Amino acid sequence: MCGIVGYAGKNEARLVLLEGLKRLEYRGYDSAGIAILGDGIIVKKAVGKIRELESKIDGVNLSGNLGIAHTRWATHGQPSEANAHPHSDCTGKIWVVHNGIIENYQTLKKWLEERGHVFKSETDTEVVPHLLEEFYEGSITKALQRVVKMLQGAYGLAVLHQDEPQKLIAVRYGSPLVIGLGDGETIVASDVSAIIRYTKQVIYLNDGEIAEINSSGLKILDFDFNEINREAQKIEWDVSQAEKNGFSHFMLKEIFEQPKTISDSIRGRLVIKDGKVKLGGLDNVIDKIRSIEKIIIVGCGTARNAGSIGEYMLEEYAGVATEVEYASEFRYRKPVLDNKTAIIAISQSGETADTLAAVKEGKEKNILTLGVVNVVGSTIARTTDAGVYNHIGPEISVASTKAFTSQVAILALITILFGRQRNLSLAVGKRIEEELLILPDKIESITRQSEKIKKIAEKYCHFNNFIYLGRKYNQPVAAEGALKLKEISYIHTEGLPTGEMKHGSISLIDKNFPCLCIAPQDSVYEKNVSNIEEIKARSGKVIAITTEGNDQLNKLVDDVIFIPKTLEMLTPILSVIPLQLFAYHVAALRGCDIDKPRNLAKSVTVE
């Protein structure tokens, strides 16, 4: 959840670290801190966003070529300078930044206090520098090797010691770290977005690995001090993809990018003449896929909503029994799994701790695990047996938009793959693919309605409660639209199946409790209209999403947003766009911090 940056090289560390923190601010923004090793170690911290730290160090001499920095998303202790990273030991010589949770920190803290260590924060992280102090005998690397074997939980760490001024140490166990290899410089970060400005050559640390960085280069060791050789990978996307490019927020930019990102997600993967798809990442498990009789889709938040749409697709078109699980709950059940079951794990970052835990549970049971992941080289991408990348570039805004529509598009491709191995006809496969090809133009026609949607948002931005409703393929879209509104505007919003409205929630409806109903002209359209009538009979305000050319709802509801017609199974890729824009405009009108909503972080790497 937190963001780590470390630098060792020929340039001023301060500049690289601050730039890296800005790139990682989506990972946490409760507080931030920086430590530079020059003539001694100078440390500065601030509560709030990176700009508060910048103000605090303005005019301070922070010269040095080695340093670590951190932006925090609080897990233990309120946001404060005392709880901000980096954290130190009693001597003030050892400094540590940390992403993750040390689950046994209370036991370790008690042991350390009995040995005379004095703690200054409420965090779990602070036990690490004190443990390093306890075992330090001239080599911070060797001390760290002893300490990591005492820690329980998940952690990514970067460590400095004042007495070893040419050395930066990083360690990974359950929390992502990537190392960028530049010209005479090395950068450690939680995410490649902090590195890409300086180099595209990176090495991803695996769990149980320590990176020792010094003037002679990089050495990777396991926890038993065996040296590991690993080739660098090249990052394909460009730094410009992590810029706003004239948009007021990353979220708005990413909404408007969706015509391109859908094209990128399906490019080179359609074999229309045969009604088939080519998913290279699944080639090595294609025979296993033929034998699969049950699919379990796991994900969290937006990814789970996308998976719920995939459930409808896979059952209707591929004829494969499919379940969608909260990844955070999956391993606490005793799911019935056998060699004819596959898990599909969906995660934009590829680092979501709960989803990764579900994948590991599947692998423990020796079943096929597949990933739908955006970040190349991420942990889930490397842990699953096979998978499909989104190829949509970095998604910076905490509230996911383009990743959701890409995930749905890829689930459509997976549906065709499974379906054509079974009973899906060539004609139907071709029809789905032909419609996927023209979706980008249809999405663009919706984004052109942004100003109209803003005017609707102006009418509703003062309400503090909302219900979103949808049926069949659009029931998960209702959940996703509600999630977007609550994430960035802080409006209490529920997303429900339309048919469930009358089973309790209709008691909430009055003139001050509006509903947004997704009602395209599909197989459940008439049922949606009946439910809208029930809401209007109770003086509820209704915004409807429906198909272009449908004038029936104009007199029934308060406001209508139109989307182009498409195949019912692909409607979610279109119907969600107005909901993203509505949430964006409501949040902007309410003065909310859209890209960095309170209490949230982009990559949830703690359980």
- Active-site residue set: 2, 602
Please name the residues in contact with 312: beta carbons below 8 A apart, sequence gap of 6 or more. Answer: 472, 473, 569
Element housing 220 (H / E): strand 217-222
What is the dihedral sign for C-alpha 111, 127, 228, 376? positive
Q: Which residues of 151-160 are buried (b: 16+ CB within 10 A; e: fewer)?
A: bebbbbbbbb
Residue 38 pairs in a beta bridge with: 40
Please name the residues in contact with 437: beta carbons below 8 A apart, sequence gap of 6 or more. Answer: 266, 270, 272
Cα separation, 239 vs 237, whole angstroms: 7
Question: Alpha helices, DSSP H only, in 190-336?
Answer: 250-256, 258-266, 286-290, 302-313, 327-330
Residue 371 pairs in a beta bridge with: 345, 387
Burial of 191 (0-12, 13-18, 19+ CB in 10 A): buried
Pairing of strands 201-204, 153-161: unpaired
Are the CB atoms for 373 and 226 separated by under 8 Å?
Answer: no
The owner of tokens 């896929």 is 289
What is the dihedral sign for C-alpha 479, 485, 490, 492? negative
Q: Which residues of 335-348 are buried (b: 16+ CB within 10 A; e: fewer)?
A: bebeeebbbbbbbb
Cα separation, 242 vs 257, whole angstroms: 12
What is the dihedral sign for C-alpha 80, 85, 89, 92? negative
Cα separation, 304 vs 352, whole angstroms: 12
Two tokens, residue 83: 């709880």
Two tokens, residue 498: 């339309």
What is the residue type of 408?
V
- Chain Cα centroid distance, residue 364: 25
Q: What CA dihedral angle connects 102, 103, 104 and 109, to 10 degrees?
A: 50
Two tokens, residue 268: 């080179």
